Amino acid sequence: IFLTLCGQTAWAFNLAEIQLVSKLDDQRGYCIDIRGHKARAKIQRGLQAHTCYSYQGQIGVDQAFDTSLIETGEFYLPAFDVCMAAENRTQGSRLILTRCTDQNRQKFVLNSDNEIKLVANDELCLTVNDGESQEGGGGTPVHLMRRLTLENCATTKNEYKHWLISN
């Protein structure tokens, strides 16, 4: 565990942030993030959209996905040994973290339209809340957070559902 949490150089993974294409109200961008703070993030609290840490010069462990597994549909966070999963297969579902077991709720596809769709219900896209952002507990300027849910792809504005892999 020590080697996993010390830094990227100890990892044998190709790590990247999953970043919202639109900057919305934060010029540093929003990334998929585990709730909590970096190595002390709380996996049981699930995922959110949070200011990307790459502006600090490196990817935060709570935003670092293994890009080699994304093409197989698995959004894996190696520092915590968990995968992104839908709480359920319905609109409004939260994104949670679970042990990687190759279950349907853990399978997503990043398509050519830059949407992250749930394979078990491809009408649903990973979506950042379109309301006001919440202020976090750190950063200069302060970091911002937004809810992250699965919403209907056809009715969601592009700026809230288009993602890219940024490393």
Tell me the per-residue pLDDT of 16-34, one tens digit each, with 9 for 90 and over. 999 999 999 999 999 999 9
**Across-strand partners of 121?**
118
Average pLDDT, the chain: 91
Q: What is the pTM of this model?
A: 0.90
Cα separation, 139 vs 92, whole angstroms: 29
Q: What is the model's pLDDT at position 109?
A: 97
Cα separation, 13 vs 9, whole angstroms: 9
End-to-end Cα spacing for the chain: 23
- CB of 52 within 8 A of CB of 144? no
DSSP secondary structure of 106-128: GBEEE-TTS-EEETTEEEEEEEE
> Which range has the worst mean pLDDT, 3-17, 52-66, 88-102?
3-17
Q: What is the model's pLDDT at position 7?
A: 40
19 SS3 class: strand
Task: Label the pairing between strands 134-135 and 144-146.
Answer: antiparallel
Q: What is the model's pLDDT at position 2?
A: 32
What backbone phi and psi angles, to 5 degrees, belong to 130? -90, 5
The model's confidence at residue 13, banded by pLDDT at 50, 70 and 90, is confident
Q: What is the mean pLDDT of residues 53-71?
A: 93
The closest of 166, 134, 144 to 20, measured between CA atoms, is: 166
